[in-house]
Amino acid sequence: MLRLVPVLGLALLAQVANGFAATASHMLSCMSVVESQVGEAEREFVWEPSIGPGPGRRLALTLEADTAARAVVIPWDADRGGLVNGWLPLWTTLKAGEAVRFPPTLWLWSTNARPFLIQALALDQDDPAVSEVHDLVVAMHLPGLGPKVLEAQAKKLRALVDRFTVLKRPAAGATSMPASFAGVFRGQFDWRNHATTSSFSVGQPALVDFAARTRPPE
């Protein structure tokens, strides 16, 4: 009889693990570069860390979840820690199976742009942190904010993200680098073929990092 205990214990653990897997939702995320040059057709290709800024280049981040969720995209300065290139965090509601492209007008990624760490954070719509993150991001878009106020808000947002990373994120949610892609004409780029998949649930947001360490020319 005692020999059955380990077997039953393993079976129980397997059932618990399967239960957690069944309740987890998933997010696809892909960073891409849209390039427009005079006299040439616009093209879009997957971003990777070795690619740097340049004339006619813009950045886009596409997210999609398999269930309704809330998402925030945060553009940090990779070296200095604050917000980068004058870009602000963006908040949206993800509908199940519908891709959302950030930002709507794309980020201008010119030659002198600073290295970035762009974080994509997805929260279950029932996560208690949703209202806190939402209110903070909305406040950062209020007109007339001085640089010191925006800096203080950015530090608070960083603390929130760090809390998710340290306390809530599993080791499996580590940074993932997109695959290399040579580039195709706009309209033919299938971002899903190059997307990173991450899971999230109530109390355990998904967090994906896109870190550009390439420095602009001096």
Q: Give the whole-angstrom CA distance, residue 183 versus residue 193.
A: 13
| 22 lies in some domain | no
Lowest mean pLDDT among 12-26, 31-45, 72-86: 12-26
Q: What is the residue range of 153's domain?
A: 27-211
* pLDDT digit string, tens, across residues 76-86: 999 888 999 99
Q: What is the DSSP letter of 25?
A: E
Could you give the CA distance from residue 188 to residue 186 in angstroms, rounded to a whole number? 6
Measured CA to CA in angstroms, residue 208 lies from 49, 61, 74, 121 at distances of: 14, 11, 11, 7
Question: Would you state the torsion angle of the CA atoms of residues 110, 113, 116, 119, taken in this order, to the nearest 10 degrees?
Answer: -50
Tell me whether residue 11 is in a domain.
no
Pick from 17, 28, 5, 185: nearest CA to 120: 28
- Residue pair 94/100 in contact by the 8 Å Cβ criterion: yes
Domain membership of residue 1 (yes or no) is no
Task: Indicate the pLDDT class of residue 164, thresholds 50, 70 and 90.
Answer: confident
Dist. CA 4–CA 22, nearest whole Å = 27
In a domain, 216, yes or no: no
Look at the chain and report how many structural domains it folds into.
1
What pTM was computed for the model?
A: 0.78
**CB-count exposure of residue 69 (10 Å: 0-12, 13-18, 19+):** buried
**Residue 47 Cα distances to 15, 35, 68, angstroms:** 39, 11, 26
Read off the pLDDT of each residue in 121-128 and give the average, rounded to a whole number: 94
Q: Tell whether 41 is covered by a domain.
A: yes
Distance of CA 28 to the CA centre of its chain: 9
Is residue 140 in some structural domain? yes
Q: Is residue 109 part of a domain?
A: yes
Residue 167 carries which DSSP code? Answer: I
Q: pLDDT tens digits for 194-217?
A: 999 999 999 899 999 999 865 554
Residue 4, domain member (yes or no): no
Q: What is the pLDDT of residues 40-95, one digit of tens each?
A: 888 999 999 889 999 999 999 999 999 999 999 999 999 888 999 999 999 999 99
215 phi, psi to nearest 5 deg: -85, 145
Angle at 105 between CA 161 and CA 81, to 5 degrees: 30
More confident residue, 74 or 173: 74
